[in-house]
A and B are shown apart, each in its own frame.
Chain A
């Protein structure tokens, strides 16, 4: 009945595991929405280009002038739904004559007080004469005829003050326009910016999109032009491909390692069940968490699978205890059960601290691990002993146990160990925390080179910080955006701002500009300047009616600048890039250099940040780094406190508690010491690995202390040794992975467990034998 019930539970769990809804959103790895970090991350997702497909066309040979533009247009036209929605090759023919004429009409709405001060200096008779002389010369040129209407409306060039503000719309720093296309300064590259409806994490559709794009290239682009494409989907696919290859390598190496261990230490049917335990635990834990969470993070399952490798240890101890038992398996089981339960409780305590994490994925991981550890405990103590008892046991062969005899004097062993700990602690101070989530991704050289090439060719248009001015409607958002722009331009450190504010201020600001402009022309100034124009113009050869339009324009109303008007004159692309309207709120974006000075401007306490958010990759990285560092120390402290508390309750003896902690302290110090000395950054994944080292290390400690004090047989040492080796075979193999995240876990576990095992097997006995008196030793 027991077997049937167990098998049924495992089978049902396996089915539930297969049908689990996995959520691949990276947001699960970030602190909850209420925190600044999560908000920063969500805002960065809305930054221009963050979710877009960037295509660079580079002409390889000396092709004729227009071919690059023609091929760009052809490729853009071929990039159609369902894979690509909006495809942009440039802002279009924005610099048409209508464009200039439009500015000549609307400039009073855009002209600022500072502009007026500059204009006022140019309203003397001499300055007007000079302006009209220039204008007369311009009339001689081919463009003179086309510009004459503009000259009549605005002979003194007031519109130029506004045209200068166009520099704030240059979203791609090194871009120039050619036939309305984005062209690099050397004329060799063209750019296509496309939107796709597929999520970056949607690997299946992302792969289809990339294949479709490659097919387009083959049919549309000649050999004389090379095309590079970059998007989040490429990163996703590269990572998935790398992980798939890694898994083959890791599983092969792990399987070989485990098989070797099986040959060396198990060689029985019961041994196979020991290794099946973690698989059953994984299925049941996954099924359990699916009951509690509708969508489970794929990261939880991935990490959880790694963490639950710990569950094999319980089974290993039960197996060796039963094998070593002579005649009384029940007694042996009872004897080993106590430290196993101790281990389970301390491990639960260690993983329990993840409940306090601000990261959803770590809280999920806590639930997952706790279900898994409880399951492992039950499986190891209830069905496994029955299975092991009923299978043919290989005779206990002392030769199979690699029993290491430590010949060094105990005092020297302890001194050497302490020296190593001190060195590791010292080197551990060099450890730095890396909050850049991108460093956890595999970035192949090809993509890295492509990123560098894009930055060299077009400037750093994908790495700017973004200021979001938010409001319930466009006008409110624009008013906030005006405030942002004023704040930025007041600061000397503000350069290279991309903002709509100078060209599209709020209607309130525009009205204020017009009122200021009209007030400026009151008190007879308009008539005075008009007369100067007539007088000075007459002496040059202009008719007295030549500038009637100017007088009318000064007196007449000026149309407001609207989003629609900007679209009409060819600025649709920039407007749509910098205004996000999700139907509920409107956000107006300002792009600024991602520098500490600019960040400080927005973090300054004397700046009213109401409805303004500042999102920056650098700031995000710093915040995450700090969160990881905080999490690390909090987790280490909380997990250690929890483990010490439980050890105290279980052992009720300080010395035993301290002895049990030796593998934990050794493992953690070695991990941070080696990583610090090698300059390997500590990341989000290492935090979880540290918990694993605590959980496993304390288990080794408990078993060894129990053995030393309560007379467990030699099988305990063997079980600890074999447990350590299975961990190294299983997780240490991750070090062979190409993927940074997997490699990172493998490295930290390998170092940590690699140090914890000898600490448990050598240092604890050495310390114990070195005169430590344990009060209940005789018990």
Chain B
């Protein structure tokens, strides 16, 4: 599996092909997970642009934002939104900082003080380290389609179910990159994120995450 697929899986994955037997499903899952582990081991860094669309019942229009994502091994992540306003957060281990606007003012915090960021980063880092054991403890994994690959994660914890119905990950036809991630909420609101211009293993300055 190419590294881009690993990135896709890093950003929320899962599996099940309709019509497969349980044994076949398991084999398919294991094969995918094995490939992910292999690919993940090759990824030191990645960065990409993203386009985020939020479909929320409380808003008149779709909330569209653009930004950039950076990942580096050893629990480092930067999520920055550049349009329509500037905001984002950067995580380095269990330390994190967030910012809003261009004032340069930042707020530092422990990742676990902000539950949703913790869930988000736990997901990313679990996939990055190919920690399937942990992910399987928290999610049912389904393969919605194998060509192009589309995976779904369904939360097991009742706590998480209150806020999350499922994650869906769509891959490009040739499976070389992730085309989109969808986050579906119980009230039918959802968020779709398109990943573009992905670059693998380009050196990233540590200051991005501090």
Contacts and interface: CB of A to CB of B under 8 A. Distances in A.
Contacts of A134: 100
A366 B21 CA distance: 89
B58 A142 contact: no
Nearest to B118: A95
Interface in B115-138: 115-117, 120
B67 to A, nearest CB: 9
A179 B113 CA distance: 10
Interface string A122-166: 000000000000100111111111111001100000000000000
A187 B98 CA distance: 21
B113 A95 contact: yes
Contacts of B115: 95-97, 100, 143, 146
A259 interface: no
Contacts, number: 90
A542 B59 contact: yes
Given A145-B163, A546-B59, A140 B183 contact: no
A543 interface: yes
A176 interface: yes
A65 interface: yes
B30 to A, nearest CB: 25
Contacts of B112: 95, 177-179
B206 interface: no
A543 B59 contact: yes
Nearest to B84: A140
Given A95-B115, A145-B54, A187-B94, A542 B85 contact: no
A140 B60 contact: no
Q: With a 10 A CB-CB cut-off, give which of A139, A151, A176 has the most chain B CB atoms.
A: A139
- Which of A97, A143, A543 has the most chain B CB atoms closer than 10 A to its own CB? A143
Given A95-B112, A137-B87, A140-B85, A145 B58 contact: no
A140 B120 CA distance: 14
A97 B162 contact: yes
Interface in B33-63: 52, 54, 56-61, 63
A176 B162 CA distance: 27
A143 B119 CA distance: 9
B49 to A, nearest CB: 15
A545 B56 CA distance: 12
Contacts of B164: 146
B110 interface: yes
Interface in B61-96: 61, 63, 65, 75, 79, 81, 85, 87-89, 93-94
A576 interface: no
A546 B61 CA distance: 12
Nearest to B93: A65
A68 to B, nearest CB: 11
A147 B191 CA distance: 14
A140 B75 CA distance: 23
A98 interface: yes
A145 B183 contact: yes
Contacts of A100: 115
B87 A148 contact: no
Contacts of B57: 543
Contact of B54 (A96, A144, A177): A144
A541 interface: yes
Given A140-B87, A146-B115, A546 B159 contact: no
Interface in B155-174: 159, 162-164
Contact of A143 (B54, B85, B114): B114
A144 B163 CA distance: 11
Contacts of B52: 140
B185 interface: yes
Nearest to A544: B60
A146 B100 contact: no
B189 interface: yes
A98 B54 CA distance: 23
Contact of A140 (B65, B93, B94): B65
Among A96, A144, A145, the one with the most B-chain Cβ atoms within 10 Å of its Cβ is A145
Interface centre among B75, B101, B112, B162, by most A CB within 10 Å?
B112
Contact of B117 (A96, A143, A177, A542): A143
A137 B82 CA distance: 11
24 contacts: A65-B93, A96-B159, A97-B115, A97-B162, A134-B100, A137-B87, A139-B59, A140-B87, A141-B98, A142-B79, A142-B120, A143-B117, A144-B54, A145-B56, A145-B163, A145-B191, A146-B164, A147-B116, A148-B189, A176-B110, A177-B113, A187-B94, A541-B61, A542-B58
Given A95-B113, A151-B58, 18 more contacts: A65-B93, A65-B94, A95-B112, A98-B159, A100-B115, A137-B100, A139-B59, A140-B85, A141-B89, A143-B116, A143-B117, A146-B116, A146-B164, A179-B112, A187-B94, A541-B63, A543-B59, A546-B58
